[in-house]
Structure 1
Amino acid sequence: MAGSPVQMTGTVLTTRRVDAYHALTVVAPGIADRFRPGHFVTVAAGGRDTSMLTRRALTVHDVKPDYGGTVELVFAVRGAGTAWLAEVKARDTLDLVGPLGRPFPLPRDPCTCVLVGGEYGSASLFALGDALQTRGCRIDFVLGATTAERVFGALRARRMGETTTLTTEDGSLGMRGKVTDVLPGVIADARADVVYACGPMAMLRGVTAVAVEFGIPVQVAVEEHMACGIGVCMTCVVPVIGEDGVTRMLRACVEGPVFRGERVRFDDVGTIPFDALGAPGGRNV
């Protein structure tokens, strides 16, 4: 059942380390029922008496029907909130809101898809891969990170994908370099029809440039810091060119996190371009 996000208390079923990352499996039937690949979840961190007011946006790696519906959330420790989440134990409870955001659009007909993941951004690609294969699509993976322990999902990708290409900047796993170094060859060999990507902004910028060079569409799930996750605080805005050619500051948590890559103005991320709709001294039509 797709529909509006829900807020609920979920019980932690399992916790595990996945190399450099943490994964929590939480019983959350209302969220699992509504989930589509590309959605995310926000979690309250710190407990009932915390001073940490903002929620943490977490990637959904897997959704299963167990216990009425579970979601597995993957994250890296980056600050006090995620450090607190890393200490959560089985049978603890979490306050969750989800599923949130705009999911990946799926092709109507079977096609060849290259799925590109950077760091733990790869986590969101596996539910997508399952959905694409259900539609008869071929999928090829390109996963990368700075070091081997920061590549997420290599074994699962090898099981799922027609091919899987791994890269690390230090050469500790797969080919030395970045995903953009090997992506042209993968697209050409697979005769890909579309690219899906999730990872750091710099990676998404490079992946988009490669896809545009090949003349194929690219869907990117952006990683922007989100404070509320529901479109109120405006901290996650990204400059995106609309169908009418006008740049608008769109909220990654509501209008995204998935955008058409060629419409994201990656060079201007973190700023409000002077020609954006509503920009100070700029366009106000």
Structure 2
Amino acid sequence: MANPVVVRAEVVGTRADGPGRRVTVRCATAAARFRPGHFAALAAPGGSVEVLRRAVPVLRADGDALDLLLPADPPPVLDLIVPLGTPYPQPDAPACALLLGEDTQAGPLPALAEQLLAAGSQVAFVLAAATAGRLYGVDAARALTADVLLLTADGSAGLPLGDDPAALVGQALAALDADLLYTAATPALSAAAVAAATARGVRSWTAVGADLPCGTGLCLGCVLPVRDADGVSRLVRACTEGPVFDGARVRWSGLGTVPADVEGAGQ
């Protein structure tokens, strides 16, 4: 667990960051506990701070400050529960990792790349979006590595995403001889990337549920089927058991459903 704190955090900076706003808050305790993949639960304006919250990405920690990604400028003080969720695991030894991000969901990946590089690993990025204006983290990725591939659905930047993203990701994994895949993308793109990684015997870690409804486990709006180590599929909450999962264990075709073979289904 992330050992979160409930805090009213002062906003000390805000600026445009791609299609969103990067908001810096001062919260030394939470900043010390942050790892890439964690998120924050933000109290909804005018709602009950105990219940009505929404999940927002935590981009990075710097000293006593946290950077959050919000859709618009915030009030001067934010009511947060942070950090929450399970972060991206680190490899036991230096590795070559491909980091796949889509739109603003890619927000946590630069901090993850910094952590990997500091431990001696190599990193490369694939950043995707519907159009060039929705790409996120391109400059940050290029500041960390020369290996940055852009994919857009409309072909306005980089290569066309096309109808077979698994093939593109597979080619990138092969070119890098990658050991690991990390994704922060829509379920469709993550599923394709995980399939490509699995076919090559590459371990994958994927963040599922970037649009977590409450972030605290209360609303049960982020339930998904995951196959455990014992081979049994169970329904779990992305915000509490995740949002980062072993990509090969996520039942991608069963997202949004209750597969008949899931433990407890129909009981």
- Normalising by structure 1, report the TM-score: 0.88
Q: Indicate the residue corresponding to 1:22 in structure 2.
A: 21
Per the TM alignment, residue 235 of structure 1 is displaced from its structure 2 partner at its CA by 1.7
**How far apart are residue 172 of structure 1 and its match?**
1.4
- The structural deviation recorded for 1:225 is 4.0
Sequence identity (%): 37
User: Does the 8 Å CA contact 1:8/1:97 hold for their aligned counterparts?
Assistant: yes
Say which SS state the counterpart of residue 143 (structure 2) adopts. helix
Partner in structure 1 of residue 136 of structure 2: 152
Q: Point out the more displaced range, 222-231 or 35-44.
A: 222-231
Is residue 2:4 matched to residue 1:9? Answer: no
SS at match of 2:108: helix
C-alpha distance in structure 2 between counterparts of 1:148 and 1:114, whole Å = 21
Report the residue type matching 2:203 in the other structure: P
Aligned partner of 1:243 in structure 2 is 229
**Could you tell me which residue of structure 1 aligns to residue 40 of structure 2?**
41
For these two proteins, the number of residue pairs brought into alignment is: 264
Q: Work out whether residues 61 and 74 of structure 1, in 8 Å CA contact, stay in contact via their aligned partners in 2.
A: yes
Q: TM-score, normalised by structure 2?
A: 0.93
Counterpart check, 1:258 vs 2:244:
yes
Of the three residues 207, 214, 218, the one matched with 2:193 is 207
Alpha-carbon distance in 2 for matches of 1:146, 1:159: 23
**Counterpart position of 2:202:** 216
Unaligned runs of at least 5 residues, structure 1:
77-85
- Residues 126 and 224 (structure 1), Cα distance of their counterparts in 2 relative to 1, 3 Å cut: closer
- Contact 2:18/2:137, CA 8 A, preserved across alignment: no
> In structure 2, what is the equivalent of residue 61 of structure 1?
59
CA distance in 2, matches of 1:168, 1:29: 38
| Distance (Å, rounded) in 2 between the aligned partners of 1:51 and 1:42 | 13
Greater shift in the superposed pair: 19-28 or 117-126? 19-28
Q: How many Å separate the matches in 2 of 1:145 and 1:24? A: 22
Q: Given residue 59 of structure 1, which amino acid in structure 2 is its aligned partner?
A: P
Distance 1:12 1:167 in 2: 34
SS in 2 for 1:160: coil
Give me the whole-angstrom Cα distance separating, in 2, the residues matched to 1:108 and 1:138: 14
The answer for unaligned runs of 5 or more in structure 2 is none
Query: What is the letter of the counterpart of residue 203 of structure 1?
Result: L
Q: CA deviation at 1:230?
A: 2.5
| 1:225/1:235 contact within 8 Å kept | no
Decide which of 117, 122, 140 is 2:106's aligned counterpart. 122
Corresponding letter in the other structure for 1:61: L
Q: Which is further off, 260-269 or 16-25?
A: 16-25
Residue identity opposite 2:225 in structure 1: P
Which residue of 65, 68, 79 maps to 1:70?
65
